[in-house]
Chain A
Amino acid sequence: GAGVSQSPSNKVTEKGKDVELRCDPISGHTALYWYRQSLGQGLEFLIYFQGNSAPDKSGLPSDRFSAERTGGSVSTLTIQRTQQEDSAVYLCASSLDGRVGDTQYFGPGTRLTVL
């Protein structure tokens, strides 16, 4: 299992509920990224981790979104009080060290549906 894994693969929730999305990066990769892809759209950058710290949270769309990474490995993206516009595929990627040109490897994504 050398690739990026994400769970759950699908999540259906009701408006107003909180959700947690998990990402397990490739072993040894210090950089981790979260993206959001709305139906038929491109990729929207959300947040970047280098180790356990997040030097760039600029893409988080609102304060309902937060993310953490522990032990320099697994990351959790939390969306509080979900809204229907949060429905999207959330993609996680990891790369070796986050330098320019570092190749990002993506997980299969979590499809979030907010009813």
Chain B
Amino acid sequence: AQKVTQAQTEISVVEKEDVTLDCVYETRDTTYYLFWYKQPPSGELVFLIRRNSFDEQNEISGRYSWNFQKSTSSFNFTITASQVVDSAVYFCALSHTSGTYKYIFGTGTRLKVLA
């Protein structure tokens, strides 16, 4: 079965804390892509990152970093020194060969960063 699990429904942190959002996926395909999107209160999903299954290098972009581990089927997202503007719902998604264009989305993690 193809599936994306975001077990954390809601996380609250205090500003400047680091926070990690978990994403665990299931797929039988060897070629697949993983994505993270941010949905702020305004509602629009904002693309953050795309990672293919052959590239396990971790990526850092400013305060954001992603840890892709095929051994545990996880693609976790860490925000360092969180800010109030990071408050949003974050979605992890999977695009796999047998699904072609279809994304499988996780149910999202709501992050609240308190001032």
A binds B: yes
Query: Once the chains bind, are A100 and B44 in contact (CB under 8 Å)?
Result: no
Chain A residue nearest to B53 (CB atoms) is A101
Q: Given the complex, which residues of A lie within 8 Å of B46, measured CB to CB?
A: 106
Does B76 make an interface contact (CB < 8 A)? no
Q: How many of chain B's residues have a CB under 8 angstroms from any CB in A?
A: 26
* Residues in A whose Cβ lies below 8 Å from that of B112: none
Please tell me which one of the listed residues A43, A89, A100, A107 contacts residue B33 in the complex, with CB atoms under 8 A apart: A100
Q: How many A-B residue pairs have CB under 8 A?
A: 60
Determine which of A42, A45, A100, A109 lies in contact with B106 in the assembled complex, contact meaning CB atoms within 8 Å.
Answer: A42
Contacting chain B: which of A12-20, A67-75, A91-99?
A91-99
B interface residues, Cβ below 8 angstroms from A = 31-33, 35, 37, 42-47, 50, 52, 91, 95-97, 99-103, 105-108
Q: How far is the CA of A93 from the CA of B35 in the complex (A)?
A: 14
The contact string, 1 if C-beta is below 8 Å from chain B, for chain A 56-99, is 10000000000000000000000000000000010101010011
